Amino acid sequence: MVTINENYLKLKAGYLFPEIARRVTAFAEANPDAPIIKLGIGDVTEPLPEACRVAMIKAVEEMGDRDSFKGYGPEQGYEFLREKIVRHDFQSRGCDITADEIFISDGSKCDCGNILDIFGHDNTIAVTDPVYPVYVDTNVMAGHTGPAREDGTYEGLIYLPISAENNFTAEIPDYKVDLVYLCFPNNPTGAAATREHLQQWVDYAHTHGSLLLFDAAYEAFITEDDIPHSIYEIPGARDCAIEFRSFSKNAGFTGTRCAFTVVPKTIKVKASDGTDVELHRLWNRRQSTKFNGVSYIVQRGAEAVYTEAGQTQVRKLIRFYLENARIIREKLSEAGIQTYGGVNAPYVWVKTPHGLSSWDFFDKLLHTCNVVGTPGSGFGAAGEGYFRISAFNSRENVETAMQRITEKFKV
Ligand SMILES: *Cc1c(COP(=O)(O)O)cnc(C)c1O
411 pLDDT exceeds 60? no
**Residue 305 near residue 311 (C-beta atoms within 8 A):** yes
Residues 192 and 287 in one domain: yes
Number of domains into which the chain is organized:
2
* Predicted pLDDT at 142: 97
Q: Which of 288, 308, 328 is the last residue of a domain?
A: 308
Q: Is 247 annotated as a binding residue?
A: yes
- Residue nearest atom 14 in ligand 1 by C-alpha distance: 217
Distances (CA, A) of 126 to 40, 136, 168: 26, 9, 15
Is residue 100 a part of any domain in this protein? Answer: yes
Taking residues 98-120, report their average pLDDT: 98
State the closest ligand 1 atom to the C-alpha of 187, by its place in the atom list counted from 1: 13
pLDDT tens readout for residues 388-402 = 999 999 999 999 999
Those residues whose C-beta lies under 8 Å from the C-beta of residue 179, and which sit 6 or more positions away, are 119, 123, 124, 125, 126, 210, 211, 213
Residues 176 and 225 in one domain: yes
pLDDT band at 42 (very low <50, low <70, confident <90, very high): confident
Rounded distance from Cα 255 to ligand 1 centre (Å): 12
Is residue 301 a part of any domain in this protein? Answer: yes
**Bridge partners of residue 348, in order along the sequence:** 341, 389
Q: For residue 183, give the CATH number of its domain.
A: 3.40.640.10
Residue 63 and residue 60: Cα distance in Å, rounded? Answer: 5
Q: Is 15 annotated as a binding residue?
A: yes
Is residue 3 a part of any domain in this protein? Answer: no
Residues 140 and 185 in one domain: yes
* Predicted pLDDT at 371: 97
* Predicted pLDDT at 14: 65
Q: Is 108 annotated as a binding residue?
A: yes
b/e burial code for range 296-314 (CB count within 10 A of at least 16 → b): bbbbbbbbbbbbeebeebb
Residues 28 and 123 in one domain: no
Q: Which H helix or E strand runs over 111?
A: helix 108-114
- Residue nearest atom 11 in ligand 1 by C-alpha distance: 217
Of the candidates 153, 304, 302, the one whose C-alpha atom is nearest the C-alpha of residue 145 is 153
Residues 277 and 352 in one domain: no
pLDDT tens readout for residues 342-369 = 999 999 999 999 999 999 999 999 999 9
Residues 282 and 316 in one domain: no
Whether this prediction's pTM lies above 0.85 is answered by: yes
Q: Which of 287, 308, 329 is the last residue of a domain?
A: 308
Residues 208 and 330 in one domain: no
Rounded distance from Cα 270 to ligand 1 centre (Å): 30
Q: Is 321 annotated as a binding residue?
A: no
Is residue 209 a part of any domain in this protein? Answer: yes
- Residue nearest atom 2 in ligand 1 by C-alpha distance: 217
Residue 303 and residue 88: Cα distance in Å, rounded? Answer: 11
Of the candidates 50, 70, 108, the one whose C-alpha atom is nearest the C-alpha of residue 297 is 70
Residues 269 and 359 in one domain: no
**Residue 329 near residue 342 (C-beta atoms within 8 A):** yes
Is residue 22 a part of any domain in this protein? Answer: yes
Residues 42 and 71 in one domain: no
41 pLDDT exceeds 90? no
Q: Which of 252, 285, 308 is the last residue of a domain?
A: 308
| Contact residues of ligand 1, CB 6 A cut-off | 42, 107-110, 132, 183, 187, 215, 217, 246, 248-249, 254, 259
Q: Which H helix or E strand runs over 408?
A: helix 395-408
Residues 200 and 274 in one domain: yes
Q: For residue 18, give the CATH number of its domain.
A: 3.90.1150.10
Is residue 146 a part of any domain in this protein? Answer: yes
State the closest ligand 1 atom to the C-alpha of 110, by its place in the atom list counted from 1: 7
Domain assignment of residue 384, given as a range:
8-47+311-409
Residues 156 and 270 in one domain: yes
pLDDT, averaged across the chain:
96
Residues 303 and 250 in one domain: yes
In testing the pocket of ligand 1, which one of 183, 215, 294, 321 has its CB within 8 Å of the most ligand atoms? 215
Taking residues 186-203, report their average pLDDT: 98
Is residue 116 a part of any domain in this protein? Answer: yes
C-alpha atoms less than 13 angstroms from C-alpha of 87 in its C-beta half-sphere: 10
Residue 128 and residue 214: Cα distance in Å, rounded? Answer: 12
Is residue 2 a part of any domain in this protein? Answer: no
Residue 49 and residue 58: Cα distance in Å, rounded? Answer: 15
**Residue 53, class by beta-carbon neighbours within 10 Å (0-12 exposed, 13-18 middle, 19+ buried)?**
middle
C-alpha atoms less than 13 angstroms from C-alpha of 25 in its C-beta half-sphere: 6
